[in-house]
Amino acid sequence: MHDVAKLIDEKLLDEAAHWLARMHASDFSASEQAALEQWCTQSAAHAQVWRCAQHIKHQLQEVPSTVGMAVLNRPASVTNRRHLLRNTALTLVAVPVLGWLTSQALPWQAWSADYRTAKGQRRTVVLADGSRITLNTASAISTSMRNDARLIDHYEGEILVETAHNAVYQHLPFIVQTRDGQMQALGTKFIVRQHEQGTTLSVLKGAVRAAPAHLEQSTTVHIRQQLRFTGHALGVATALDTHAGAWAQGVLYAENMRLEDFLRELGRYRNGVLHCTPEVAGLQVSGVYQLSDTDRILQLLEQTLPVRLQMRTRYWVSVVKA
């Protein structure tokens, strides 16, 4: 007898939950509304469950959104860490800081995604918290929204990060991780570029804390500063390269740049080999170039500098003395 009552209850809860979810959907129809009203009056039990639901909804309405989000959606502090508490003192509940990610066990709730761009491609992704990440040419990241952090694993290339102010996720540190170390956003807008050796962090807004993977030290890079570091060396922050974020607008800036360096930069955006002979390597290049058409940029070089292009194929270009 008891079991039968239980079974009905479960079915009732399923149905009530279904209706509650439906009634907030944008495509909830008038006929569904009618069916719901009929459902509520089917029995005293139906009516009672529905009253409960109304009570819950009423309580939710009493709570200011910012307060409710901060309190009810706070990261699980205790229950998740029960296993840790079993044998240890409570200090473990203290808020973790930069550098803990390596020691933290994998989260029980995490969702992640992978993004990649081909050479010459650029794309912007918006994360669950509203933060935007723009991937430059030939870049790869994976993102995970975890209970303890918003984590970007940056595998290669260059990314522009603009973190969002979102009450739900505000308490979670925003971290970009490269093979050289971790960077924690203290502000809103920065660029991370991985070189063959080392990582360059350029801060456009706010500040970012950088911690090399194999050092105990960390340093804060402030607005309009950049820092190149490796897993073993922190380096010193210098003034931000004025055009650091230009690529995000699809533009390559050159200001008295050596042709050799310019071609190396351009090479990031097109497939194949691109190089110049030593006698023209030191020529100076200045200008603003549209990255969407790298062939056109090479033609422009021919028009403005005493050089010509030797193209064995589209993928093998030498810039030589004219």
Partner 1 sequence: MPSPHNCDAGQSVGHIYTLHHGWLVAWLQRKLGNRDDAADIAQDTFTRLCASTRIQSIEQAKEPRAYLTIVAKRLMFNHLERRSLEQAYIASLQHLPEETTLSTEQRAILLETLVELDALLNALPAPVRTAFLMSQLDGMSYEAIAAQMQLSVRTVGRYMAQGFRQCLRVMMDA
We find the least distance from the C-beta atom of residue 139 to partner 1, in angstroms, to be 19
The answer to whether 152 and 141 are in contact (CB under 8 A) is yes
**C-alpha to C-alpha distance for 305 and 251, rounded to whole angstroms:** 20
The amino acid occupying position 53 is A
DSSP codes joined into one string, 119-138: TT--EEEE-TTS-EEEE-TT
Residue 137: both structure tokens together: 């040419």
Q: Is 80 or 219 the residue whose CB approaches partner 1 more closely? A: 80
Q: What is the rounded distance in angstroms from the CA atom of residue 92 to the CA atom of residue 310?
A: 64
Q: What angle do CA 122, 128, 132 make, to 5 degrees?
A: 35
Alpha helices by DSSP H, 86-190: none
C-beta closer to partner 1: residue 147 or 249: 147
Report the residue number, 76 or 322, with the smaller CB distance to partner 1: 76
Which residues make up the interface to partner 1 (CB under 8 A)? Answer: 9, 13-14, 16-18, 20-22, 24-26, 49, 52-53, 55-57, 59-60, 62-79, 82, 85, 89-91, 93, 109, 111, 113, 126-130, 145, 147, 167-168
Q: Which C-beta is closer to partner 1: that of 69 or that of 213?
A: 69
Q: Are 156 and 145 in contact (CB under 8 A)?
A: no
Nearer to partner 1, 7 or 320 (CB): 7
- The length of the chain in residues reads 322
Shortest Å distance, C-beta 155 to partner 1: 19
Residue 186: what are its φ and ψ, rounded to 5°? Answer: -105, -10
Minimal distance in Å, beta carbon 152 to partner 1?
Answer: 14
Give Cα 302 distance to the centre of its chain.
39
Q: Pick the closer one to partner 1 by CB: 85 or 288.
A: 85
